[in-house]
Chains A and B, each alone.
Chain A
Amino acid sequence: MSAITQLSRLFKFNGGVHPPENKLQSCALPIRRLPLPAKLVLPLRQHVGNLPKLRVAVGERVLKGQLLAEAEGTISAAVHAPTSGIIASIGEALIPHPSGLPDMCITLEPDGADEWLPHAPLDWRHADKQQLTESLRSSGIVGLGGAAFPSHIKLRADGTSGIDTLVINGAECEPYITCDDMLMRERAEEVVRGIEIAYYLLGAKQCLIGIEDNKPEAAAAMRAACDKSEYPLQVIVVPTIYPSGDARRLIHVLTGREIPSFKRSTDMGIQCFNVGTVQAIYRYFQFGEPTLSRIVTVTGNVAQAGNFDVLLGTPVTALLDAAGGALPDTNDYLMGGPMMGFSLPSAEVPVTKATNCIIAGAPKLFPEPEPAMPCIRCARCADACPVNLQPQELYWFAKSSNLEKARDYKLFDCIECGCCSYVCPSHIPLVQYYRFAKSEIISQDRAKQAADVARERNEFRLMRIEREKQERAQKHAQKAAGAKTEGSAAADGKTLEDAKKAAIEAAVARAQVQKAAVEPKNVSDLPPAVQSEIAEIDARRSDAALEVEKMQLKKTIDTNSVADGKGNEAVSQASPEPTAEK
């Protein structure tokens, strides 16, 4: 095995940083289990994609592993009951999300029995692949690395998947987080069995397992487990450089291939899974267990940092208590790592499928950002950018709202890893500027789309009006042409003039009739002086109306006359006799 590892060449991406790892604190103890909390709050949306369809009602007793909400549409994931109990409520509650906004959650009160719904393993080696991936849809498994993308989509063996390389992400490059490290150390067998299932389902030709060189125990355990596998699984130790755990970066490090900006890795025949995800896949096929729990690192400003196997829906407070409690100077709770994580709106929020790490923050760990100085163009950010962007230029464009330029300079390739902000000597919150610029561009694009739709509608309306006018003109022309061919021998020009005059006179007559017909209402009781005044105004008004009507008429006639000519021409061309006579 080691021979293979040495044979495979590693590739380097631009830049990256190496912040203090702070991983040892949470690796001292084995993974522990949490006592059953008093209630579990299960957000319906713990994944990327559609809100799943609710399948239970308040007051219902559910068993452990029972489906609570079913995947809806293609990109969605199911939610199951992590233990047996009563559905206490269904409604909005705070969830761990950067927006701090509440979302739909199911609150489950455990009954303590922890009674399983009958479940059975799936004989994946002898089942139809199509059936297996179909069944994965109800497993609730999503990417456990933090992205929470439904896994059944990534494993779809539709015959055209053409995946030749399976990349397993055990890099865990963010400081503080050790949940994947501990999982690989303690449950390497399960992880490898999961890799085998993914390998089989995808029909892969090779499998590369990337682990950063700061996890020698995990790499050794994985190697030992891989050695027993019938598949050619390679454990490859990669240098510890943040963000080598980013899927595109890891694929590049391991294979030397760059996934083109607007393509997916699957377009290049590569599929990537986190180690936790494949272990969940193994548990599902081997025991029929859907995703009910996950391993979470609890670290930072706590008494006893460690990793816990936590039921989904467990409040973060329970987790902190299990870690000996947050120390008194704690002022913040982060979910995820310190490079890309976010502050929780409250420590009451539940653990979800995306919760890989909870860090109790304190000023001594994460000091308040220093006031920003002007950019001195030192380009350290560019040296650190793993995507090889020019952060100093993007900053300038974002700051001056030169959004088109920002887009030209590939703003949307930014993965918001934070390397640029990390190294900036001017302490400029660069990532914030990029987030702002991205959202500005997205909302501008939306506004532009809306404007485009409105413009199209307006253009269509104008077109319709024009068409109707043309049709009217056509009619008039036909009439005129008809009158002509009837042979009222009068001079051509004269008839037209006469027609105009007649039309105007007719209109005037009509208007006068109308004027006479206008019977002013509610004025009969008024004194005669006022009445006469009103009459006067009315007269003026109708005169004006008359003028307007006259003008309009003249206009229509004039345009009609132009159309007339055309119409005549068309007519004359259609009937060759008159021309022939001439």
Chain B
Amino acid sequence: MTRSPYLVEKTSVSIVMLKVLLALIPGVIAYVWVFGTGILITLALATVTAIVSEALVLKLRQRPVMPFLLDGSAVVTAWLLALSLPPLAPWWLIVLGTLFAIVVAKQLYGGLGYNPFNPAMVGYAVLLISFPVLMTQWPAPGVLAGAHLGFMDQLAYIFGRHLPAGVTLDAISSATPLDYLKTQLTLQHQVADITQSSIFGFMGAKGGEFVTAAYLLGGLYMWQQRIITWHIPVAFLGTLALMAGIFHLFDATQYASPQFHLFSRAAMLCAFFIATDPVSGPTTPNGKLIFAAGIAIITLMIRQYGGYPDGVAFAVLLMNLCVPLIDMYTQPRVFGHDK
């Protein structure tokens, strides 16, 4: 009878996923501070939708429900999607995106471990293509607007598109720096002038840059906990900074600085939480470097030349396609073998 090893490390998929959620907490706190408590509603809505839909599909697929619900992967998907959406998106948008992520992108491909594409990014991409206006309508961060809507007001807006008396949508929303940069550049303005706008902060978007910094913190925790390796974050952020730097050096009037790209929108979230999704990513060390560098390049290209303000979701999905190929060609040298 051989069932060795008899010893196993105290770990499980649930523990891994819980640690990912834990690592997202600083980001969520910063988010609340910058945009108000509405994100908590969005997170809750996405979480409930993910759990219910996952349970239903598991039941339909005649799979054990509890072990897979408890693995926590659906909640991680829900949170990543929720954190990518505009904070005041209507409830049905959140539900729709989560449903698509869990049911189509994950369960229809076979559930945990079998999805070739990052489910959260599939959900995001579907919403972005289907509802471009809603998906680009970002509220102004509290630091800009002076104050943001209270919890009840945000609740009313998310569920009923209902604004308090005397408040207009324009008053609470603003263009994101990436959008603003793009439109202003087409109007022949220069980067240095554009970034003088009040919506720009020290590095990226005013307020938003704190959220990205908090993601960085959570990411470092995951690295310390060996949930992720250094390869993807370093290759992604490094390539993004390097490429943006080259463009910036080449023509500073047309191309924003590398630090702006690093601290804008989804870059940090992508570096530590999205591109590092193990299921849809490569497994070899060199493969991770190539994969992450590819995402960074596509993201930057979409940001600079594409029709969408941010390109993380499409970049991730495009690189997901390449994963089997990347893995095949980056097999590391086995001990005692020549390359």
Tell me the residues in window 221-279 of chain B with beta carbons closer than 8 Å to chain A beta carbons.
226, 229, 278-279
Q: Are the CB atoms of A390 and B332 closer together than 8 Å?
A: yes
Q: Are A376 and B332 in contact (CB under 8 A)?
A: no
Kindly identify which residue among A260, A371, A423, A431 contacts B9, using a CB–CB cutoff of 8 Å.
Answer: A423
Please indicate the chain A residues that have their CB under 8 angstroms from the CB of B331 in the complex: 390, 409
Which one of A261, A339, A376, A432 has the highest number of Cβ atoms from chain B below 10 Å of its Cβ? A376
Expressed in whole angstroms, the Cα–Cα distance for A395 and B336 within the complex equals 21
Most chain B beta-carbon neighbours within 10 Å: one of A413, A425, A426: A425
Given contacts A377-B113, A410-B337, contact A390 B284 (CB under 8 A): yes
Q: Contacts A382-B284, A383-B229, A425-B15 known; A388 to B332 CB distance under 8 Å?
A: yes
- List the B side residues contacting A102 at CB < 8 Å: none
A382–B283 CB distance below 8 A: yes
Chain B residues whose C-beta falls within 8 Å of the C-beta of A371 in the assembled complex: 67
- A427's partner among B3, B8, B229 (CB-CB below 8 A) is B8
Beyond A19-B7, A423-B11, A425-B15, whether A377 also contacts B2 by CB under 8 A is no
- Closest chain A CB from B23 CB (angstroms): 15
Residue of A nearest to B338 (CB): A260
Task: Check: B196 CB closer than 8 A to any chain A CB.
Answer: no
Asked if residues A386 and B13 are in contact (CB atoms below 8 Å), the reply is no
CA distance A361 to B154 in the complex (A): 58
A contact residues around B169 at 8 Å (CB)? none
Bound CA span A19–B7, Å = 8
Between-chain CB contacts (< 8 Å), 21 pairs: A19-B9, A252-B335, A334-B6, A339-B5, A340-B5, A343-B3, A345-B1, A373-B71, A373-B112, A377-B279, A379-B229, A380-B226, A388-B332, A388-B334, A390-B283, A393-B327, A416-B4, A418-B4, A423-B9, A423-B11, A425-B15
With A373-B112, A390-B331, A426-B13 known, 17 other A-B pairs at CB within 8 A are A338-B5, A342-B2, A343-B2, A373-B12, A376-B73, A376-B279, A377-B113, A377-B281, A377-B283, A379-B283, A390-B332, A393-B283, A421-B8, A422-B8, A426-B12, A431-B4, A431-B5
The residues of A that contact B278 with a CB separation of less than 8 Å are 376-379
> For the complex, what is the distance from the CA of A366 to the CA of B5, rounded to whole Å?
9
Bound complex: CA of A98 vs CA of B4, how far in Å? 11
Chain B: residues with CB nearer than 8 A to chain A? Answer: 1-9, 11-13, 15-16, 67-68, 71, 73, 111-114, 226, 229, 278-279, 281, 283-284, 327, 331-337
CA gap between A340 and B7 in the complex, in Å:
10
Q: Is the CB of B4 within 8 A of A413?
A: no
Report yes or no: A388 in contact with B335, Cβ–Cβ below 8 A: yes
A279 contacts the other chain (Cβ, under 8 Å)?
no
Write out the residue numbers on chain B whose beta carbons fall within 8 Å of the beta carbon of A410.
334, 337
* Chain B residues touching A, majority SS: loop
**How distant is the Cα of A369 from the Cα of B283 in the complex, in angstroms?**
25
Q: Which residues of B contact A252 (CB under 8 A)?
A: 335
Contacts of A130 in B (CB 8 A): none
A interface with B by C-beta (< 8 Å): 13-14, 17, 19-20, 98, 100, 175, 248, 252, 258-261, 334, 338-343, 345, 361, 365-366, 369-371, 373-380, 382-383, 386-390, 392-393, 409-410, 413, 416, 418, 421-427, 429, 431-432, 435
Contact of B4 among A342, A382, A383, A393 (CB under 8 A): A342
B6: chain A residues within 8 A (beta carbon): 334, 338-339, 341, 361, 365-366
Name, among B68, B73, B111, B332, the residue most crowded by chain A CB atoms within 10 Å (CB to CB). Answer: B332
CB distance from B147 to the nearest CB of A (A): 42
> In the complex, A258 Cα to B68 Cα: how many Å?
42
A389 to B331, CA, bound (A): 9
A86 CB → nearest B CB, Å: 34
Contact indicator B4/A339 (Cβ below 8 Å): yes
**Which of B71, B229, B278, B284 lies at the interface centre, i.e. has the most chain A CB atoms within 10 A of its CB?**
B278
- A453 CB to nearest B CB, Å: 31
Across the interface, B334 reaches (CB within 8 A) one of A100, A338, A392, A413, namely: A413
Query: Known: A376-B279, A383-B229. Is A338-B4 also a contact (CB below 8 A)?
Result: yes
- B337 in contact with A422 (CB, 8 Å): no
Specify the chain A residue showing the minimal Cβ separation from B334: A410
In the assembled complex, the Cα of A175 lies from the Cα of B334 at a distance in Å of 26
- Write the chain A residue with the least CB distance to B226: A380
Q: How far is the CB of A350 from chain B (nearest CB, A)?
A: 18
Contact yes or no, A260 B2, CB < 8 A? no
- Cβ-closest chain B residue relative to A340: B4
On chain B, the residues within 8 Å of A426 by CB distance are 12-13, 113
Interchain CB contact under 8 A, A374 and B11: no
> A373 CB to closest chain B CB, in angstroms?
5
Find chain A residues with CB under 8 A from B67 CB.
371, 373
Nearest chain-A residue to B333 (Cβ)?
A388
In the A-B complex, list the 3 residue pairs whose CB atoms are closest, starting with the nearest.
A418-B5, A374-B113, A379-B283
CA of A258 to CA of B229, assembled, Å: 26
Q: Contacts A369-B3, A380-B226, A425-B13 known; A261 to B336 CB distance under 8 Å? A: yes
CA distance A343 to B112 in the complex (A): 33
Q: How far is the CA of A435 from the CA of B3 in the complex (A)?
A: 10
Chain B residues whose CB sits within 8 angstroms of the CB of A338 once the complex forms: 4-7
Write out the residue numbers on chain A whose beta carbons fall within 8 Å of the beta carbon of B1.
98, 100, 342-343, 345
How many Å lie between the Cα of A73 and that of B237 in the bound state?
63
User: Could you tell me if A435 and B2 are in contact, using CB atoms closer than 8 angstroms?
Assistant: yes
Please indicate the chain A residues that have their CB under 8 angstroms from the CB of B114 in the complex.
Answer: 374
> How far is it, in angstroms, between the C-alpha of A387 and the C-alpha of B332 when the chains are bound?
10
Would B16 and A425 count as touching, CB distance under 8 A? yes
- In-complex Cβ contact of A261 among B5, B112, B337 (8 A): B337
Of all chain B residues, the one with the shortest Cβ separation from A430 is B5
Residue in B closest to A408 when the chains form the complex, CB atoms: B331
Interface hub of B1, B73, B283 (most chain A Cβ within 10 A):
B283
The distance from the CB of A355 to the nearest CB of chain B, in whole angstroms, is 16
Q: Which of A260, A369, A387 is within 8 Å of B8, CB to CB?
A: A369
Name the residue of chain B whose CB is nearest to the CB of A435. B2
Q: How far in angstroms is the closest Cβ of chain A from B280? A: 8
Instruction: Determine the distance from Cα of A84 to Cα of B130 in the docked complex, in whole angstroms.
Output: 89
- Which A residues touch B283, using CB under 8 A? 377, 379, 382, 390, 392-393
Contact in complex: B335, A432 (CB < 8 Å): no
Residues of A within 8 A of B8 (CB): 369-370, 421-422, 424, 427
Contacts of A343 in B (CB 8 A): 1-3
Q: How far is the CA of A515 from the CA of B6 in the complex (A)?
A: 80
B323 → A minimal CB distance (Å): 9
Cβ B112 vs Cβ A432 within 8 A: no
Residues in A whose Cβ lies below 8 Å from that of B112 = 373-374, 376
Q: Cβ of B337 and Cβ of A370 under 8 Å apart?
A: no
How far, in Å, is B208 (CB) from chain A's closest CB?
A: 30
Measured CA separation A386–B332 after assembly (Å)? 12
- Contact yes or no, A373 B337, CB < 8 A: no
Contact A376 B113 (CB under 8 A): yes
**B175 to A: closest C-beta gap in Å:** 38
Nearest chain-A residue to B283 (Cβ)? A379
Specify which chain A residues have a CB less than 8 angstroms from the CB of B73 in the assembled complex. Answer: 376
- When the two chains form their complex, are residues B5 and A248 in contact, meaning their CB atoms are under 8 A apart? no
Bound Cα distance A261, B8 (Å): 28
Q: Which residue on A lies nearest to B16, using beta carbons?
A: A425
Bound-state Cα–Cα, A541 to B271, Å: 87
Docked CA distance A100–B2 (Å): 10
How many whole Å from B61's CB to the nearest CB in chain A?
13
Q: Across the interface, which residues of A come within 8 angstroms of B279, CB to CB? A: 376-377
Q: When chains A and B are docked, how far (Å) is the Cα of A21 from the Cα of B101?
A: 44
Residue numbers in A under 8 Å from B3 (CB-CB): 343, 369, 429, 432
Indicate the member of B2, B4, B229 with the most A CB atoms within 10 Å.
Answer: B4
Closest to A20 in B: B7
